[in-house]
Amino acid sequence: METASIRSPFYDVAASLGASFMEEGGWCWIEGFGDPDGEYLAVRDDLGVWDVSPLNKWEFRGPDALVAAQAVHTNNILGLEIGQVRYGALCDSSGLMVDDGTVYRLADRVLVMTNGADRMEHFAEATAGLEVEIEPVTRSMPHLGLQGPRSRQALGALCAADISRLGYFRFIPEPTTVGGVPCLVSRTGFGGELGYELFCQPGHAVDLWGVVVSQMKARPYGVGVLEALRVEAGLIVLDYDYCPHERTPYDLSLDKMVAIDKVEFLGSSQLKPIACDPPRRLKTLRIEGDKLPEHGAAVTRRGERAGTLTSPALSPRFGLIAMAILERAACADGERVEVETEGGSIPATVAPLAIYDPEKRRPRS
């Protein structure tokens, strides 16, 4: 790990609990705490917490802030209410994905979150001529992700605001506190469970960690178990499931997050011809055998190239699984395919994109 990597305000307190770290995108991410099976079960069966502070955050301010956010995002951002969040893709002028992320609408500004940090040039292209100021605010907004079936009960007991009726992909726009710590509370997350995200100021981070870990009894986890969690839930990651300027949102099965008939955004005109009949889909593969194939492995069907494997993972509940971008002819559930390996190929079966809770009843509960 490079010593120059940015450490979040939660670094020291996590390290004191035995966290290991990895470098990604210039940041120190928590890799884990030495018990991946226990961390996985905490998220799926109880309550887990992870440090999501390195996720890139941008404030859009000014008279055209909402219009500017719409220009860079495929979902219906103009239709956002204050306190509402929407997820979708960010595309270039050719309709190819640059990134994916969420947009939060506050009363006086818009908060945009992305995976990549080098997005200012893209924003400038998409928002040319608009009255908007765009500022990176990642380092001033550390945050924790709470994931697990106990999250509403645990957070509700300590949050000054009533979260009992906080809807999925909604947040509380007014200032509130959690265990006395000032926070922005959002019902969002990354893991396929009922969950929330808590945003705070850097000076309050250690106190917030103490509230969540000591009072809520949430178990800390890291990106070491995130691969299994996200692949089970069909959740994509930049540079694993797609690279910038190579795939359309439809290749990643983000159809519902592309408001092609409601709004215009950078690249929308290029996507309209394929919106009704996308040529490729993102699916899950259930892989046979005992060896996980490599990222980028070719997927074949009846001897013909049928797609590309993106994110392989060993799931404690489903065994060897992976996501893959498949040609339309090969993407039906139950279809038999082969995944190429160094020593030949291994059989796999096409399954729903979210193999765990495919209708997302748990996060919506």
Model confidence pLDDT, tens digit, residues 105-135: 999 999 999 999 999 999 999 999 999 999 9
* Sign of the dihedral defined by the CA atoms of residues 158, 162, 168, 171, in that order: negative
Q: What is the mean pLDDT of residues 279-287?
A: 98
Say whether pLDDT at 301 is over 80. Answer: yes
Q: What is the mean pLDDT of the chain?
A: 97
Cα(307)–Cα(296) distance, rounded to whole angstroms?
A: 10
What is the secondary structure of 78-118 as a DSSP string? TTPPTTBEEEEEEE-TTS-EEEEEEEEE-SS-EEEEES-S-
What angle do helix axes 36-45 and 223-233 make, rounded to 10 degrees? 40
Q: What angle do CA 282, 288, 293 make, to 5 degrees?
A: 60
Separation in Å, CA 196 to CA 184, 202, 279: 10, 19, 35
Please check whether the domain covering 55-136+248-276 is classified as CATH 3.30.70.1400: yes
- Reading the block at residue 264, the tokens are 């215009």
- Reading the block at residue 358, the tokens are 């495919």
Is residue 103 within 8 Å of 75, Cβ to Cβ?
A: yes
Q: What is the pLDDT of residues 288-299, one digit of tens each?
A: 988 999 999 999
Say whether pLDDT at 186 is over 50. Answer: yes
Domain with CATH 3.30.1360.120 in the chain: 11-53+142-230
What is the structure's pLDDT at 170?
A: 98
Say whether pLDDT at 58 is over 50. Answer: yes
How buried is 136 (Cβ within 10 angstroms: 0-12 exposed, 13-18 middle, 19+ buried)? middle
Q: What is the mean pLDDT of residues 191-216?
A: 98
Q: Which amino acid, residue 216?
A: M
Domain with CATH 3.30.70.1400 in the chain: 55-136+248-276
Say whether pLDDT at 1 is over 80. Answer: no
First to last CA, the chain: 39
- Reading the block at residue 295, the tokens are 């990222």
Q: What is the mean pLDDT of residues 9-28?
A: 96
Confidence of residue 222 (pLDDT cuts 50, 70, 90): very high
- Reading the block at residue 165, the tokens are 């009726």
What is the structure's pLDDT at 343?
A: 84
Q: What is the pLDDT of residues 304-354, one digit of tens each?
A: 999 999 999 999 999 999 999 999 999 999 999 999 998 899 999 999 999
**Best CA proximity match to 16, nearest among 202, 225, 213, 154:** 213
Confidence of residue 138 (pLDDT cuts 50, 70, 90): very high
Say whether pLDDT at 2 is over 80. Answer: no
179: helix, coil or strand?
coil
Q: What is the third-level CATH fold of 11-53+142-230?
A: Gyrase A; domain 2 (3.30.1360)
What is the structure's pLDDT at 56?
A: 97
